Structure formats: C-alpha cells, structure tokens
Structure 1
Amino acid sequence: MNEFMMLFRHTPNPDFKMSPEQMQENIKYWQDWIGSIAAQGKFVATNQLSFEGKTLKPNNIVTDGPYAEVKEIIGGYVICKAENLDEALKLAQGCPILNIGGHVEVRSFMKIN
C-alpha cells in the first residue's frame, strides 16, 4: 500500500460568510468524508492549514504569507493509503472542497533512500 497526499486548493472569497448552521453542516460534511476514508482503513492524517505563514525564498528572502503571489490557497490536506493513483483519486471523490469550486490535487510520495 502506498501513501498519497490530497491537497485542497481553492480561491478564497472574502465576501462569503457562512451562518453558524452552514458552518456546522460544512464541518459534518468534512467529518463524514474523512470518516469514510478511515472506515476503509486508508486514512493516515489530516490537518487544516492556518492563514498565517511566511515563505522562504533563495538568498534568505522572506515574504509574508504562504500565498503572497497567487490567488489560490492550499487550505489543508489528507494523507491516505491506496494501491495506486487511480484508487487515491477515487478516495478524493466527494471531497467537500469540490462543492465550493475548489479542487483536490492528489500526489504520491517519492521514496528517498
């Protein structure tokens, strides 16, 4: 079994505000989707990324924000187990980020010896 990372990308909309009910519904959707991966024994880890950060560039140049030069952000990730990329893509189907116009980038890990 191989490990894959699903990166959740979207373009933030500062004008969009969820009601408390919508927030709870959204949280449940994420929990159910991640729970379905866990129920198959394919869940490894997940986390949501904060909006705070810095980027280190060559020559020790530091910029504010992890996305200072792009419109799209990575909001979080899931690490899962799958036999191959196609199976990992199947696990990504139903990801809540897809409902708000975002997308899921699925990447395998390179083995470093």
Structure 2
Amino acid sequence: MLKGNLGAGKTTFTQYLLKEFGSDDEISSPTYSIVNEYDTPKGKVYHFDLYRLKDVTEAYDFGIEEYLDNGFLSIIEWPEIYMDELEGYDFHEMTIENTESGREIEFN
C-alpha cells in the first residue's frame, strides 16, 4: 500500500522498484486505467491507483479481488477506500510525504 499526497512520489517509487525487479516495461501512473500490469522475470506485478474511485463497490466492479487473489505482487496507490476489505491479506504500508526539507518515508 502506497499512501501520500499528490506528487509525493508513489508512482516514481513504483517505477524504481519495478526496474530493480528487472522489468523492461514502461511504468506509468494507472490514474485513468485504475490498474496497470507489468512483467518481471519473477512474474507479473499489478499497479493500482484507487484515487478516482468514489466507493468500494467500484473496486469490486473492476475485479480487484481477482487481481489480489492471484498471488502476484500488487502495488496499490491511494488504498484508503479499500483498506477495510484488506483484512486477512498480508501487506506492507508505505507513506511518502513531501515536507519543506524533502520527503519523509514511513513503513508500517
């Protein structure tokens, strides 16, 4: 789960992470597509951006459960609307915030 304000660097973090995983794909923000799929030598990675969703039913409408249940890595930006539904899933949470002195990153 990637949390942070607009422009904090959530997608940039994802770009660097996937390059480290060996992906040759062009990594971009899934703001309008909601989910992007990338290939790495170890399997697929799903990259979600839930910013535009109005409620959790929209996540169900595009099939978020099927993506999350497949066993591949999923990176979710703006996960707040879906957090209650993640009970029972193992996940890491990272918050990136812009500050006057740069960026602050917190892991939970």
Q: TM-score, normalised to structure 2's length?
A: 0.33
Give the structure with higher Rg (CA): 1
Task: Provide the TM-score with structure 1 as the length reference.
Answer: 0.32
